[in-house]
Structure 1
Amino acid sequence: MTALDPADVFRAEAAELLACLETTLLDLGDRPEDRALIDTAFRALHTIKGSGAMFGFEQVAAFTHDFETAFDRVRRGEVPVGHDLVNVSLSAKDYIRGLIEEPEASAPIIGEAILAELEQLLGTTGRPAAAPLAPHPEPVADPIPMVEGGWQIGIAFAPDVLRNGTNPLALLDELRDLGACTIVPRLDALPELPGLDPESLAIGWDVTLRAAVTREAIEDVFLFVRDEMTLTLVPVSPAQPDAAPEPVEAAPGPFAPPTVTAPAAGLAAIASVEAPPVAPPAIAPAAPTAERSPARRAEERPASSVRVEAERLDELMDRVGELVIAQARLSQLAGLSADPGLKGIAEEIERLSARLRDTTMSIRMVAIGALFGRFRRLIHDLSRDLGKPVEFVTGGEDTELDKTVIERLADPLVHLIRNAIDHGIEAPGRRAAAAKAATGRITLTAEHVGAQVLVSVRDDGAGLDAARIRAKAEEKGLCAPGAVLTDQQVYQFLFAPGFSTAQEISALSGRGVGMDVVKKTIESLRGTIDIATEPGGGTTVALRLPLTLAIIEGLLIRVGEGRYVIPLAAVEECVELPAGERGGRGRDFLNIRGALVPFLRLRSLFGAAGEPELHQKVIIVAAGEARVGLVADQIIGNHQTVIKSLSKLHADVATFSGATILGDGTAALIIDVGRLVSGGGAEGARAYQEVA
């Protein structure tokens, strides 16, 4: 197994920290008085700085250090949080990401400009944007003011602090940044070489710091490791350099810290470090320390969470798919055999492969909330650039979807949200004239609907203007003047390439690109798009997507000599075609419990040779809001369908979303129900001929 590159581990974990920082900063824009948010942001910066320095990302560490130093004024309550501060902090976060991902493309002058703007904001007091924060709570111990002479500091860490990734030398370097230091190691507890454990810390340090700094400044150096150490601080005046240190009580941790004894003679003598009388637990929670190695943190993850490369999951899914195909072949052979032993083995393998398939697919499922969180920054920036206050509301963040679907869903949602803010939500003046709230609202939700996921983007803007869309469509030759069209048909013109109703071209709209990309992407995911609008009340764009793109449950049917698969999620029921309808061609209607349901004859669409079966079957499927019947010669039964993509030569075929391998080794095409229904007979026949 190839070992992970520590730098790659740092990049992955830095991406998580930066995402956390962005979310925290956006929350600060809404709740500037929230002290916990400020501490979270400071903690993320401190961790990125420490880990970056450890793994050679010096530019990242240097810039983050300056950012952290400036932001520390906010943490101390000296400067209020306002929207300008949040915006420049987000720019700083983007610059840090650039230094990590593309250091060569990140110009230092940009970082200097960001820091200059940040320092200018932090140097301004009495800003009306927000009330000053309450001062940070003082430590439990009696506060000691700034000392002119300096400090004597005793440092003793828990023996297993190195296993948790803490770098004591980096912390000593931070002490040096405060002023001139004399550092003396404590070596009396150091074991002989044969008993030396390189991952167990057996030394401590006595430090004399000659600088006029506060107790709080020293404690901040050890902010994230206080539960893994004992720290002693004694103020020293020029006339009394050797005062005995007083222990500073450490926060309770998962184990007892080592006991530090400082002799009365002062720090010149060596103090003893006594190990705790009981061994630490086998698995202790990793302390959230800045200097802890990302590679070490990856190893320390709980057993319930393991970082796995996406490529390995894809490879596992491919192997499971091959297993499902082999199992189908085995089941078919067992069905032709009279050997009960073979039948038993085939049934057992079918059961195991089904469980393995479900388990593997569940591993690929990801909560969609991770995707939703990306759009907070998008909406924040668009709201600022367009001068439209917008509130972002989400729902159903726990809804799970195949990771491949989520990855490909990001760009379509970006286009939909941009259009909703740019075209949907009115400017503040128009909203006031319409007696609406000054702040617009974008609502992004997800929910399971059967074996599909419904993702909806809704705005509370002006709604769609069907007449204007139709006029633009006629102007571009997309429809004939006077043609009878429903509103839904008119709205579909929005997804035509190059279509736009914008009066002028801007940085956000007017070129007619974006919505056609949305449609192509959603259709490539075997999904559908529905639009609902209310004049003056807003628009909802609903995306219906399959849970997975790898293996689905399908209904295997026969049409003539060919076999096809219909996704079982789209099937509502199956009925027999009435005798009076068996001789017709084209599109007809069935009466299903008082409702007229149109049906399509697949033999006609696919050009099947020979005479139809005497007892044809109708499979009633749902395509969006419509219910349609598909007439087949035979329903063979349920089939675990491993989806295989069609070749590039058939990339434009709309009626079939892919193919699968059957138990006898032959291929069966997978019917795209939505495309087949919307395309009608002509497109279906053409698609079949192209594939055949």
Structure 2
Amino acid sequence: MSDAQGLDAGRAVFLVEATEILEQLEESLLELEESPDNSELVGSVFRALHTIKGSGAMFGFDRVSSFTHEVETVFDEVRSGNMEVSRELIDLTLRSRDIIRGMLGSDQGEDTALDEEAGRVVTELKKLSAPSPAAQDMPEPPEAAVPEKADKEEATLTTWRIRFKPPEDVFSTGTNPLFLLEDLRELGDCDMVSMTDGIPRLSELDPERFYFGWDILLTTDKGRDAIEDVFIFIGEDSDLKIEAVEHHNVPDEEDAQDKLLRLGDILVMRGELDREQLSKAVHSQKRLGEILVERGLVTAEKIDAALREQNHLKKAKAKVKEQNKQKPVVDSSIRVPSSKLDELVNLVGELVTVQARLSQLANGGEDGQLKFLAEEVERLSAELRDNTMNIRMVPIGATFTKFRRLVRDLSSDLGREVILTTVGEETELDKTVIEKLNDPMVHLIRNALDHGVEPPDKRVASGKKREGSIHLEAEHSGAHVFIRVRDDGAGINKEKIRKKAIERGLMEEGADISDDELYSFIFSPGFSTAVVVSSVSGRGVGMDVVRTNIDALRGSVDVKSVEREGTTVTLKIPLTLAIIEGLLTRVGEERYVLPLSAVEECVELVEDEAGASRGRNLAHIRGELIPYVHLRRHFNIQGKRAAIEQIVITHIDGHRIGFVVDEVIGQHQTVIKNLGHMYRNVKEISGATILGDGTLALILDVPCLVQEVQNNQL
């Protein structure tokens, strides 16, 4: 590689790292504003500026390095105790952070406006940091001694031998011994051997009785109490023995440990034979285990258990020695371009499709080996799919952090006093989903600030705290994540919504509709109740963007509001966009997939009920009239209708809508494929998937079809 290529590669790495550092810098500054006396945060800000300055100079970003040096100098004064943290300083540093980001984005090209803004910020920083005469005469504060934290005492790592045989009537108590074994595995490294010598002949076997047990080796630092807790509800009735074999963290015991690792000694310690029997056996040329089995002294299963113990102890000892050689290392990470992850997901999707075809082929034949191979491929592809999906998962906390700056700046512009709180930052979502969530979340927060939280004086007059609050919350629920944006503001004025909806012809005057239906008008294009158009709202595009983007993510939006108390907007988002669980259906020769998360139930469409609604597409299902879309008519599919049609009931944004199909085939794991640029304007189809037999199935865009039903007033 030439020097020029190496420099270009270094610049690319620096740009990525600088972006991350700037995000951390913004977070530290916002925290520092709340805790101005926190010296650790001051140090974090200084180190971030120092890193950008030094690395920028190294890779030729001279403007960045020069400007950052001026900001770093000011925070060096703060770090030295010569200057206090103030809101003005935070404002200027946040502006500096934005300027640095702009300089990095301009790729060192000329940007007069940016340079002028940088000059103004440097001038204001120098004025702010100029010491007053009184400050110059003050003595330097003495450094406080910081006590070092004592290291925690390392827990003793011990290998335990556990013999466990449940009572024969264990099934009658509703206990599953396998769950107890899983609990043991969670305590540490575990090795198990099934002891089957108690199983009777087949003619004497009672299927409701339990006849065997386990010899278990467990290496853990949790102690005896943790092991006994696993068997706390069954231990008294079981044949249970727990004994320590070796303490791995105790020094100066290597001779004893080496002795314990010999097979003969292990068998003697386990009580399987005595020393005299062992002494007679070791003089033979055969292996000790073979001799003992041939003489009938122990069974082959007990030899196997002892050998496993020998091997387990060797591994545990080697592991401890390796850990003592070096300090524990934090899990390392590598930076991978998202395009490579996308390519990996595509390949996994192809593998899932091929695996489905293989399983279909194997199930259609009588070849047992092929079926076994298909099952193994299915298991491995499922593990690979799950691991690949996990690689793309990132915590939503970084996205929440970005909104702290938005709330701070926007509340200042609007004259509000608002505190942002967050819960569930560790909740993980697909990276692609998080990127597409940014715009709708921005609009929801802007809407909450402008329409929700009242000005401080108005809040005080209504008996509320002067400071308003916006709360962001994320939580997992099955294959989805729920994200809530809640404010404690004025709530939604239903009469204003109703009046505006009637004015725009979205509803008839005097119509009786539910709150959910009323709130749905908020998401209509161009809908706004603002009297004056401002830089924040009033043009009716914000909430429309929310609905459009969330629909594109195959998600849903729910609005709940109480006047004078606040509003909560809940987004229901799928964890990933690459692979979904779907319901496969058939209409004629065509196959359609509906996202399983939107499906409530499937019922037969009775012709008498379908015709009882005077030609309108309404089905009577358990006393409720549910509108439906007849997919054969909607997509103009030729052919004869099925004798008995099925209706798939879905639930989207508070509405229940049915889709009539010829046949419901069943659940199907769907690998989503884009349709390509030629079909980018097709709104009712969100993608396609390849079935196990190689045929194509289209994935329906359920929210879009529901909107079609509402527009046609079916």
Tell me, yes or no, if structure 1 residue 109 matches structure 2 residue 116.
yes
Query: Using the alignment, how far apart are the partners of 1:529 and 1:658 within structure 2?
Result: 21
Instruction: Quickly say closer, same or farther: Cα 1:543–1:133, change in 2 above 3 A.
Output: farther
Tell me, yes or no, if structure 1 residue 523 matches structure 2 residue 539.
no
The residue that corresponds to 1:413 in the other structure is 441
Give the C-alpha shift of residue 71 in structure 1.
1.6
Map 1:241-640; keep pairs closer than 5 Å: 304-575=332-603, 581=609, 586-591=617-622, 602-603=631-632, 605-610=634-639, 612-614=641-643, 616-640=645-669
Tell me, yes or no, if structure 1 residue 119 matches structure 2 residue 126.
yes
Structure 2 counterpart of 1:655, one-letter code = E
Query: Using the alignment, how far apart are the partners of 1:133 and 1:312 within structure 2?
Result: 58
Structure 2 counterpart of 1:671, one-letter code = L
The residue that corresponds to 2:59 in the other structure is 55
Instruction: Quickly say closer, same or farther: Cα 1:134–1:443, change in 2 above 3 A.
Output: farther
Give the C-alpha shift of residue 617 in structure 1.
4.3
Q: Which whole-Å deviations, capped at 9, do the CAs of 1:478-508 have from their partners, x for residues lacking one?
A: 4444444433333222222222222222221
Structure 2 counterpart of 1:114, one-letter code = V
Tell me, yes or no, if structure 1 residue 6 matches structure 2 residue 26.
no
Query: Using the alignment, how far apart are the partners of 1:533 and 1:94 within structure 2?
Result: 36
Tell me, yes or no, if structure 1 residue 137 matches structure 2 residue 137.
no
Query: Using the alignment, how far apart are the partners of 1:599 and 1:561 within structure 2?
Result: 21
Query: Using the alignment, how far apart are the partners of 1:451 and 1:31 within structure 2?
Result: 38
The residue that corresponds to 1:28 in the other structure is 32
Contact 2:443–2:546 (CA under 8 A) maintained in structure 1:
yes
**SS of corresponding position for 2:94:** helix
**SS of corresponding position for 2:533:** coil
The residue that corresponds to 2:82 in the other structure is 78
Give the C-alpha shift of residue 79 in structure 1.
1.9
Give the C-alpha shift of residue 529 in structure 1.
1.4
Output the TM-score relative to the length of structure 2.
0.67
The residue that corresponds to 1:268 in the other structure is none
Contact 1:659–1:668 (CA under 8 A) maintained in structure 2:
yes
Give the C-alpha shift of residue 621 in structure 1.
3.5
**SS of corresponding position for 1:374:** helix
Give the C-alpha shift of residue 388 in structure 1.
0.5
Runs (5+) with no aligned partner, structure 1: 141-280, 286-300, 686-692
Contact 1:590–1:599 (CA under 8 A) maintained in structure 2:
no
Structure 1 counterpart of 2:56, one-letter code = G
Tell me, yes or no, if structure 1 residue 96 matches structure 2 residue 103.
no
Instruction: Quickly say closer, same or farther: Cα 1:135–1:312, change in 2 above 3 A.
Output: farther
Query: Using the alignment, how far apart are the partners of 1:52 and 1:505 within structure 2?
Result: 42
Map 1:109-258; keep pairs closer than 5 Å: 109-123=116-130, 135=141, 137=143
The residue that corresponds to 1:670 in the other structure is 699
Q: Which whole-Å deviations, capped at 9, do the CAs of 1:392-437 have from their partners, x for residues lacking one?
A: 0111111111111111110111111111101211111211111111
Contact 2:491–2:565 (CA under 8 A) maintained in structure 1:
yes
Query: Using the alignment, how far apart are the partners of 2:513 and 2:680 within structure 1?
Result: 29
Instruction: Quickly say closer, same or farther: Cα 1:536–1:342, change in 2 above 3 A.
Output: same
Query: Using the alignment, how far apart are the partners of 1:133 and 1:444 within structure 2?
Result: 45
Q: Which whole-Å deviations, capped at 9, do the CAs of 1:75-130 have from their partners, x for residues lacking one?
A: 12222212111111111111122222223336333222111111222236699xxx
Contact 1:452–1:546 (CA under 8 A) maintained in structure 2:
yes
**SS of corresponding position for 1:382:** helix
Give the C-alpha shift of residue 136 in structure 1.
7.0
Contact 1:495–1:519 (CA under 8 A) maintained in structure 2:
yes
The residue that corresponds to 1:657 in the other structure is 686
Structure 1 counterpart of 2:673, one-letter code = K
**SS of corresponding position for 1:504:** coil
- Matching residue within 635, 640, 643 for 2:672: 643
Output the TM-score relative to the length of structure 1.
0.69
Give the C-alpha shift of residue 376 in structure 1.
0.6
Give the C-alpha shift of residue 564 in structure 1.
1.3
Between 1 and 2, higher relative CO (CA 8 Å, sep ≥ 6) is seen in 1
Contact 1:564–1:671 (CA under 8 A) maintained in structure 2:
yes
Give the C-alpha shift of residue 632 in structure 1.
3.5
Structure 1 counterpart of 2:375, one-letter code = E
**SS of corresponding position for 2:36:** coil
Query: Using the alignment, how far apart are the partners of 1:476 and 1:341 within structure 2?
Result: 67
Contact 1:532–1:541 (CA under 8 A) maintained in structure 2:
yes
**SS of corresponding position for 1:554:** strand
Structure 1 counterpart of 2:379, one-letter code = R
* Larger helix percent: 2
Contact 1:588–1:600 (CA under 8 A) maintained in structure 2:
no
**SS of corresponding position for 2:356:** helix
**SS of corresponding position for 1:307:** coil
**SS of corresponding position for 2:526:** coil
Contact 1:33–1:133 (CA under 8 A) maintained in structure 2:
no
Contact 2:684–2:702 (CA under 8 A) maintained in structure 1:
yes
Contact 2:586–2:662 (CA under 8 A) maintained in structure 1:
yes
**SS of corresponding position for 2:83:** coil
Query: Using the alignment, how far apart are the partners of 2:15 and 2:87 within structure 1?
Result: 29
Query: Using the alignment, how far apart are the partners of 1:313 and 1:134 within structure 2?
Result: 54
Query: Using the alignment, how far apart are the partners of 2:476 and 2:88 within structure 1?
Result: 39
Q: Which whole-Å deviations, capped at 9, do the CAs of 1:562-602 have from their partners, x for residues lacking one?
A: 221122223344455679658767221322xx988766554
Structure 1 counterpart of 2:621, one-letter code = L
Give the C-alpha shift of residue 381 in structure 1.
0.5
Contact 2:490–2:566 (CA under 8 A) maintained in structure 1:
yes
Structure 2 counterpart of 1:9, one-letter code = V
Count of residue pairs the alignment pairs up? 526
Q: Which whole-Å deviations, capped at 9, do the CAs of 1:350-402 have from their partners, x for residues lacking one?
A: 22222211111111111111111111111110111111111001111111111
Instruction: Tell me whether 100-109 or 518-527 shows the greater mean CA deviation.
Output: 100-109
Contact 2:610–2:618 (CA under 8 A) maintained in structure 1:
no
Runs (5+) with no aligned partner, structure 2: 147-323
Query: Using the alignment, how far apart are the partners of 1:522 and 1:516 within structure 2?
Result: 10
Instruction: Quickly say closer, same or farther: Cα 1:54–1:88, change in 2 above 3 A.
Output: same
**SS of corresponding position for 1:526:** coil
Structure 1 counterpart of 2:619, one-letter code = D
Q: Which whole-Å deviations, capped at 9, do the CAs of 1:510-564 have from their partners, x for residues lacking one?
A: 2232222222111111111111111011111211111111111222122333221
Query: Using the alignment, how far apart are the partners of 1:446 and 1:494 within structure 2?
Result: 23
Structure 2 counterpart of 1:90, one-letter code = L
Instruction: Quickly say closer, same or farther: Cα 1:651–1:682, change in 2 above 3 A.
Output: farther
